[in-house]
Structure formats: structure tokens, C-alpha cells
């Protein structure tokens, strides 16, 4: 039999349904895999007691099929509260916090039959797109353990790439599903904003930048988890427009029109090899029948960046500022976001949102010509794991801690659905990804495009060394 850690979530579900394997057998294989691989990577943290997990798996076998994720072991991102599991957000203030209830996404996965085995590592408060924190330390890239795995869903991406889990959740404000997927040779999907509801806590009307979403080793599995975690929550004032995507089948890409944005006319400097690797991927799209055309920058990058920095800081300050005031420790990037957000006036925020609105109108025009827009998932290769963030981007001094991620802003600012697909490997042997950005509510179509891409390329089959 093929090793279980190499199988897809969809394939494992079929085997569980047919009783070709038991949930207990899968759980034991999962725990063995984590024990063998995780110590050198630090992707899965806050594990449940193994004997309790085996007991849960045995109970799942006795209960019969409980839903679309029945019997699948899943570790949940450590920005999500999971009942009974240490949930830290990477902060020493929460180092020993054990929630008494699941957040919405964890509750939906559990109700669908998943067995929640632990947490996946994340940066402190999810900021920085490099997974390290003072509670658990750094997560390492499985293709080169001296380098970062990205973030904030870095632990999830590494756990997937190495077969520790078959499926993972993540979240994405500034590329947190896309950047680690690209750097770990897996798939990450940022849904249309509102497709997956957040927990109905705190302010629920103003901030439309961050979203939850799925990660997997193929787009079919993305669709499996997306349908579990999506759907209207009547306690939320926004969202719920998306219909279930159902089984994801590859679509015929003949005649599909794709606009390649590259480095946005030079506004997004990229390290050597990043664009070349992505452009090789474009050739594969052309071989599949798609029409790929270079597209001039459709909007002013500086204006977009100004809008993003202010709206993001405003959101972060609203969420973390009160905690800092209570004396909770904050890393320097969080302090910077809070100070920046608090310095804004109401009219500053209005001006930033006007820029966002102008960009939305320009994007609508671009989608009248193109079915999807393409960009790299990052402007740099995975960097030294001991750094907090790159001091420069392709020779350009970084004026903020997140300037190297500017390439993910066009989709994030508008809440557009974006699929990060593996684009191959550079001459340095490191993975890079490609963002496929669609118009709002084109989520299923993007996953169908991704399924065709996966069928043609099979990049995640190129496993990390000795893993």
C-alpha cells in the first residue's frame, strides 16, 4: 500500500469510507509521521495527548461516517481557538491559554468529522509572514531548513509539504495563505472576502482585509475543506454569498485569457530568478491552451501601498491596541502597526478607502479582458530563518517590515479570490509560487483552473529532501 502520508485528503476519505483503512490506523500513521519529521521543522505545536487522539480515532471508527472530514487528523492554525488545546497566537501572554470552546472554523471542522490533533505554528499575532514566535520558536522550510517557511500559515504549509497532515486551514491578510504555499510547494486559497465567515466577535462592519481559507496538496482537497468552513453565519452582517463549490474537476483552459503582471511595471522589485521561475510556469499555461499576455500595471502601486498600509494598520491597531494598553507584550512590528493606525484621522481612513475603491474600479475593467491576473507569491526567495524580515528587496532598502510582500496587496486590498499554485523551483532549488487572481465570487472557477494546473504539473510530488 502507498504510504498514507503521501495520499490526498480526498483519497484518504475514500479509503476511510470504504473501510480500506480505519481512522485509528490513519491516526497512528499520522502520529508516527509527526514524530519522525516535526522535530527538525517545528511545524506542528500544542499537540493533544497521543493516547487521547487514538481513543478519538477509535470512537470515530465505531460511530460511522460523521461528515466530509470524518476520520481525518487535522492540526489547526494557532490563531484559532480550539477547545482543550493550548492556543497561544504565538504570544507569551497566552502561552498557557487553553480555550473552553472552539472558534467557528474549528467547530465546523470538528462537526464535519475531523479529529483536531494540535496546532500549526504561526508568527506572533500572525504578523510578518515569517513563522517564528517566543512561545514555540521558528518553523523551518523543509526544502532548506536554514530558511523560513513563510507565514503566517507557515506551520500549516510545512506540515502539508511533509505529509504530517493531509489538509490544513489558514488565514490570509497579507499573503498568509499564499506566501507559505509558494515557498513550501503546496496550494493555498484565499477565498473571496466573506465566503468564509470569521468569528462574530469585536468590530464586524469596517475591516474587510483578512479571511480564513484552506491549504492542501491539490485543489480538489482545497474544495473539500472550503465547503466545510464556508457558508452563511447569521451572526455576521456580511458574507455568505458563495455557494458550495462541490467536487472540483479540471477545466479545459483552451482560450482562457490570463494577464501576467510580473513586477507591476518595476514597482515590485523581485530577487533574481523569481520572475524567471514564474515565467516558465506561464509557458505551461500556454501549452495547456491558455492565452497569456503581459499586462501593464493597471493602477498606481504607490497609491495602492499607501491605502494598504493605512487600512491594515488601522485594523491591527483596533484589534491589538487595547491589549497593548493592558500591558500585553507586543513585538516591534505590532507596535509599529498600532502606532501607525492610531495616528490616522477619520479622513485619512476615508482617503485610503477611496484609493481602494479606485483600484477596485480599475480591476473590474481588467477582468473585462482577462479571466484571471497572475503575479508571483513573493518578491524574494525564502530568507534566512534567523532574520525577522529582509532588510532590502532585490537591492532596494525596505522601509517597512512587510515591503517584500507588496506583491500580495492587489488581491488583499480588494478581497479578491486568489489561488496560490506551485510554480516550480529556482536554480537555488527553492520553491516559488504563482498567484492566480480572479474577480469576486469566481472561487470555484479558480479552483477548477488550479485542478487543471495540478494535473499538468504535479509539483507537490517533488517532495522535500529525505522527507
- Within 98-139, strands assigned E span 115-120, 132-133, 137-138
Peptide bond into 152 cis (omega under 30): yes
Query: In Å, what is the CA distance from 316 to each residue of 203, 304, 323?
Result: 12, 18, 11
List, as one string, the DSSP characters of 234-260. Answer: TT-SS---PPP--S--PPP-TT-EEEE
Cell of 242: 458563495
C-alpha torsion sign, points 359, 365, 368, 369: negative
**Helix (H, G, I), strand (E, B), or coil: what is residue 402?**
coil
Could you list the active site residues? 77, 152, 176
C-alpha torsion sign, points 237, 239, 241, 245: negative
- The torsion region of residue 272 among left (phi > 0), alpha (psi -120 to 50) and beta comes to beta
What is the biggest distance separating any 2 CA atoms in the chain, rounded to whole angstroms? Answer: 63
With beta carbons less than 8 A apart as the criterion, state whether 63 and 138 touch. no
Tell the burial category of 194 from Cβ atoms under 10 Å away from its Cβ (0-12, 13-18, 19+): buried
Peptide bond into 358 cis (omega under 30): no
Compute the distance between CA of residue 36 and CA of residue 338 in angstroms, rounded to an integer.
Answer: 40
DSSP 8-state assignment for residue 93: G
Beta bridge partners of 216: 187
Amino acid at each position: 500500500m502507498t504510504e498514507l502520508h503521501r495520499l490526498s485528503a480526498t483519497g484518504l476519505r475514500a479509503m476511510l469510507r470504504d473501510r480500506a483503512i480505519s481512522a485509528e490506523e490513519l491516526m497512528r500513521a499520522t502520529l508516527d509521521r509527526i514524530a519522525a519529521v516535526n522535530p527538525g521543522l517545528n511545524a506542528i505545536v500544542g499537540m493533544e495527548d497521543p493516547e487521547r487522539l487514538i481513543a478519538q480515532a477509535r470512537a470515530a471508527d465505531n460511530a460511522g461516517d460523521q461528515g466530509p472530514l470524518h476520520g481525518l487528523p487535522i492540526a489547526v492554525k494557532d490563531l484559532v481557538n480550539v477547545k482543550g488545546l493550548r492556543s497561544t497566537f504565538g504570544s507569551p501572554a497566552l502561552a498557557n491559554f487553553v480555550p473552553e470552546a472552539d472558534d467557528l472554523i474549528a467547530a465546523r471542522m470538528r462537526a464535519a468529522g475531523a479529529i483536531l490533533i494540535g496546532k500549526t505554528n504561526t508568527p506572533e499575532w500572525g504578523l510578518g509572514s515569517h513563522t517564528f514566535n517566543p512561545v514555540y520558536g521558528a518553523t523551518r522550510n523543509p526544502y532548506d531548513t536554514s530558511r523560513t517557511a513563510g507565514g503566517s500559515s507557515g506551520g500549516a504549509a510545512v506540515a502539508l509539504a511533509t505529509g504530517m497532515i493531509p489538509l490544513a486551514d489558514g488565514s490570509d491578510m497579507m499573503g498568509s495563505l499564499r506566501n507559505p504555499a509558494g515557498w513550501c510547494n503546496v496550494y493555498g486559497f484565499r477565498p473571496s472576502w466573506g465566503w468564509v465567515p470569521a468569528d462574530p466577535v469585536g468590530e464586524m462592519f469596517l475591516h474587510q482585509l483578512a479571511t480564513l481559507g484552506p491549504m492542501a496538496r491539490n485543489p480538489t482537497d482545497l474544495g473539500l475543506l472550503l465547503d466545510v468552513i464556508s457558508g452563511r453565519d447569521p451572526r455576521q452582517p456580511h458574507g455568505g454569498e458563495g455557494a458550495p463549490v462541490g467536487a472540483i474537476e479540471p477545466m479545459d483552459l483552451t482560450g482562457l485569457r490570463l494577464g501576467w503582471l510580473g513586477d507591476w511595471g518595476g514597482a515590485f522589485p523581485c530577487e533574481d530568478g523569481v520572475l524567471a521561475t514564474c515565467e516558465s510556469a506561464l509557458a505551461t499555461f500556454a501549452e495547456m491552451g491558455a492565452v497569456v499576455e503581459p499586462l501593464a500595471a493597471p493602477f498606481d502601486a504607490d497609491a495602492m501601498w499607501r491605502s494598504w498600509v493605512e487600512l491594515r494598520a488601522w485594523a491591527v491597531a483596533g484589534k491589538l491596541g487595547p491589549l497593548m494598553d493592558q500591558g500585553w507584550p507586543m513585538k516591534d512590528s505590532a507596535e509599529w502597526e498600532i502606532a501607525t493606525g492610531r495616528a490616522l484621522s477619520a479622513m485619512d481612513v476615508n482617503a485610503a478607502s477611496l484609493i481602494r475603491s479606485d483600484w477596485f474600479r480599475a480591476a473590474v475593467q481588467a477582468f473585462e479582458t482577462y479571466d484571471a491576473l497572475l503575479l508571483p507569491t513573493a518578491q524574494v526567495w525564502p530568507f534566512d530563518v534567523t532574520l525577522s524580515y529582509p532588510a532590502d528587496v532585490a537591492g532596494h532598502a525596505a522601509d517597512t517590515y512587510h515591503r517584500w510582500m507588496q506583491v500580495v496587496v492587489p488581491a488583499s486590498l480588494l478581497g479578491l479570490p486568489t489561488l496560490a499554485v506551485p510554480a516550480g523551483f529556482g536554480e537555488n532549488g527553492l520553491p516559488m509560487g504563482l498567484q492566480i487572481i480572479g474577480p469576486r465570487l469566481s472561487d470555484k472557477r479558480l479552483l477548477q483552473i488550479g485542478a487543471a494546473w495540478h494535473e499538468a504539473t504535479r509539483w507537490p510530488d517533488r517532495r522535500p529532501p529525505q522527507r
